[in-house]
Amino acid sequence: MALLVRIIHLVPALAGLGATLALIPLSTLVGRAMAAVRKELVAYTDARVKLCTEVITGEPPATDRTLASRHRPAAQTPGSQLARVRGRQRAC
The pLDDT tens digits of the residues spanning 14-24 come to 999 999 999 99
**CA 74 from chain center: how many Å?**
11
pTM, to two decimals: 0.49
The pLDDT tens digits of the residues spanning 54-92 come to 778 867 666 666 666 666 655 555 555 555 555 555 554
Q: Where are the domains of the chain?
A: 21-91
Give the phi and the psi of residue 58 in degrees, each rounded to 5: 105, 25
Query: Alpha-carbon distance 24 to 56, whole Å?
Result: 46
Contact 1, 13 (CB under 8 A): yes
